[in-house]
Structure formats: structure tokens, C-alpha cells
């Protein structure tokens, strides 16, 4: 399986909804995801300041997902018969 890191940002705004989440693209490594998380957090802060929000909280997470079967593993599984393990 191929691991993809998905960036998720959680926000809470005093005069708005209690919890809002924004999902962003998947990234090839945790380091890249964490690097872009800082930029995304700064972007969200800028948006809230422009709206005039006085109190808000933002936290980001990089979550790993294994989503694609590697080609070699797929070929290996296709060549198996039902009695092989």
C-alpha cells in the first residue's frame, strides 16, 4: 500500500460554528505535509482577521492513509490461486 498524508485543519470561532474543519490535498511525506500545514494555518488566520474575528483557535493534523496497492503487490495477488496464502 502507498501511504499518503492528508492535511486536516480544525478551527473554532467564538461567534461562529463551534468546530469547522477543512481538508486539504494529500502529500507524499509527513515532512511535506507539516511544512504546508504552517502555510495553511497562516492563510486561515489571515482570513479570520480580515473577517474581523477576535477569538479563534486553529490546529492542524497530518493523517496517514494507505490507499493505493503497489503494482508489484497487485500482480502478486492476481497470480495466486485460491488455496495459496
pLDDT in tens, 34-78: 999 999 999 989 988 998 888 888 999 999 988 766 666 556 656
Give dist(CA 39, CA 28) in Å, integer.
17
Give me the numbers of helices (H) and strands (E) for the chain, helices first please.
2, 3
Give domain limits for the chain.
2-78
Give dist(CA 47, CA 43) in Å, integer.
6
Say if CB 23 and CB 8 are below 8 A apart.
yes
The model's pTM is 0.64
Grade residue 85 by pLDDT with cuts at 50, 70 and 90. very low
Enumerate the β-bridge partners of residue 56: 13
Amino acid at each position: 500500500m502507498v501511504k499518503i498524508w492528508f492535511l486536516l485543519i480544525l478551527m473554532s470561532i467564538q461567534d461562529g460554528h463551534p468546530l469547522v474543519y477543512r481538508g486539504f490535498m494529500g502529500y507524499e511525506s509527513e515532512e511535506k505535509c507539516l511544512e504546508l500545514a504552517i502555510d495553511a494555518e497562516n492563510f486561515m488566520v489571515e482570513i479570520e482577521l480580515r473577517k474581523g474575528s477576535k477569538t479563534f483557535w486553529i490546529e492542524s493534523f497530518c493523517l496517514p492513509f494507505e490507499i493505493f496497492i503497489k503494482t508489484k503487490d497487485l500482480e502478486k495477488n492476481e497470480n495466486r490461486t485460491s488455496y495459496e496464502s
